[in-house]
């Protein structure tokens, strides 16, 4: 079996109302898809982290220029993929990742991630097994939390409380809300309102998206400790290892981070510096399935759990494959107007858990008809 073609499809659609976290406003959402064909008629689908970030207010000309960069990088990487046996994921990954030529992070590693995920999709399809079984098959289901609680123009505390209650009504036993986009006192009040709305038996996480300086994060953490916070995510810049350590020592709330880290090398440093109690790799960003599994092993060797960031359709396989999988991030209709339409089969939360599809590969099948109007590249 040989790879015959690698191509990218980029989709973007508007949100009804822009949403905002501690640093960015998101007027759109989208999907960046890598498709890989083989000479035996078996194709793979990979998803990579956005190469034209959906929080961007750049003009169309600038967005097109960034997409051109992405296409150029993909064309460069194809020489290491086309003609190769898709089972040779270690060799292909090693040949694609050439830091001297195409960079160590950013767009390059995001595209490598999508290619690698697509190759693993092919491997599992050939084996006739779900991907999580190919990778270890530790569990058949994983606890899931609903991510939301964004800032929006005109969104009241009552609206926030109702959103979180509706999330709990889906069957989840955990929710996450954004912080860092208002004053510390305002965000403490938002946390109080959400905790009262969801009750004492639902886990509550807060996510600052790197909005704070370390001393601000410490002040905020101490003020919300009484609300039984399960984790405090990305309190500071991802490269501020010392800041992470200082925050961890100053609060009883576990620190979670990793969605903006890249490759096993970045996670090695993050973990060795004891920056967080919970590690959050995003396979669409940090290097794909191949790197994710190595990061999970490094974390396991340090007795740290994995709670991946990003699209649940990929991560449900990865987090159920490993013994140190903690929980799955789940995005629903409150954050994505195309939820329930992007894929022909959508994952569902049942009694607080999500199970990977029991079909060969990732089980991802794009709903081409629904996505077609939103294709931009």
Catalytic position from the list 32, 163, 207, 313: 207
What is the SS3 assignment for 190? helix
Catalytic position from the list 32, 37, 233, 261: 233
Looking at the DSSP bridge assignments, the partners of residue 366 are 343
What spatial distance separates the first Cα and last Cα of the chain, rounded to whole Å? 28
* Catalytic residue flag (residue 133): no
- Residue 375 exposed, middle or buried by CB count within 10 Å (0-12, 13-18, 19+): middle
Cβ neighbours of 317 (radius 10 Å):
30
Looking at the DSSP bridge assignments, the partners of residue 30 are 12
In the block, tokens 């060797």 appear at 301
What is the C-alpha separation between 350 and 358, in angstroms, rounded?
Answer: 15
In the DSSP assignment, the letter for residue 212 is S
Whether the Cβ atoms of residue 221 and residue 192 lie closer than 8 Å to each other: no
In the DSSP assignment, the letter for residue 254 is P
Residue 263 φ/ψ, nearest 5 degrees: 60, 170
Alpha helices in 97-199 (DSSP H): 99-102, 106-127, 131-135, 157-169, 184-198
In the DSSP assignment, the letter for residue 44 is E
Q: Give the CA distances from residue 17 to residues 180, 335, 351, in Å, rounded to whole numbers and listed in that order.
A: 20, 10, 30
What is the C-alpha separation between 11 and 365, in angstroms, rounded?
Answer: 15
* Catalytic residue flag (residue 259): yes
Catalytic position from the list 309, 315, 317, 336: 309
Catalytic position from the list 133, 176, 178, 244: 178
* Catalytic residue flag (residue 223): no
* Catalytic residue flag (residue 90): no
* Catalytic residue flag (residue 207): yes
The H or E element containing residue 262 is none
In the block, tokens 């960046």 appear at 32
Looking at the DSSP bridge assignments, the partners of residue 356 are none
Catalytic position from the list 32, 37, 116, 259: 259
- Please give the positions annotated as active site: 178, 207, 233, 259, 282, 309
């Amino acid at each position: 079996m040989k790879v015959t073609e690698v191509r990218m499809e980029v989709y973007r659609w508007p949100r009804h109302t822009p949403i905002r976290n501690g640093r960015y406003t998101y007027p759109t959402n989208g999907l960046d898809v890598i498709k890989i064909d083989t000479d035996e008629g078996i194709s793979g689908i990979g998803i990579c982290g956005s190469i034209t970030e959906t929080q961007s207010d750049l003009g169309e000309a600038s967005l097109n220029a960034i997409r051109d960069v992405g296409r150029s990088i993909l064309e460069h990487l194809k020489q290491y993929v086309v003609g190769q046996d898709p089972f040779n994921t270690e060799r292909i990954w090693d040949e694609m990742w050439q830091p001297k030529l195409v960079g160590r992070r950013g767009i390059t590693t995001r595209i490598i991630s999508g290619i690698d995920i697509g190759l693993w999709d092919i491997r599992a399809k050939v084996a006739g097994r779900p991907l999580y079984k190919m990778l270890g098959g530790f569990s058949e289901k994983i606890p899931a939390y609903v991510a939301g609680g964004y800032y929006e123009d005109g969104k009241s505390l009552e609206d926030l409380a109702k959103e979180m209650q509706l999330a709990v009504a889906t069957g989840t036993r955990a929710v996450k809300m954004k912080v860092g986009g208002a004053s510390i006192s305002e965000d403490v009040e938002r946390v109080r309102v959400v905790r009262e709305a969801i009750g004492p038996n639902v886990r509550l996480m807060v996510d600052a998206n790197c909005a704070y300086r370390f001393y601000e994060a410490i002040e905020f953490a101490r003020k919300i400790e009484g609300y039984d916070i399960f984790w405090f995510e990305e309190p500071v810049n991802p490269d501020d290892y010392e800041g992470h350590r200082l925050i961890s020592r100053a609060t009883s709330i576990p620190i979670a981070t990793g969605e903006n880290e890249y490759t096993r090398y970045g996670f090695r440093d993050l973990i060795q510096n004891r920056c967080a109690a919970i590690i959050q790799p995003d396979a669409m960003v940090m290097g794909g399935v191949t790197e994710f599994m190595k990061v999970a092993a490094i974390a396991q060797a340090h007795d740290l759990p994995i709670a991946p960031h990003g699209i649940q359709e990929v991560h449900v396989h990865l987090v159920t494959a490993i013994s140190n999988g903690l929980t799955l991030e789940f995005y629903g209709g409150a954050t994505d107007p195309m939820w329930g339409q992007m894929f022909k089969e959508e994952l569902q939360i049942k009694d607080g858990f999500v199970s990977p599809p029991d079909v060969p590969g990732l089980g991802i099948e794009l709903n081409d008809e629904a996505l077609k109007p939103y294709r931009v590249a």
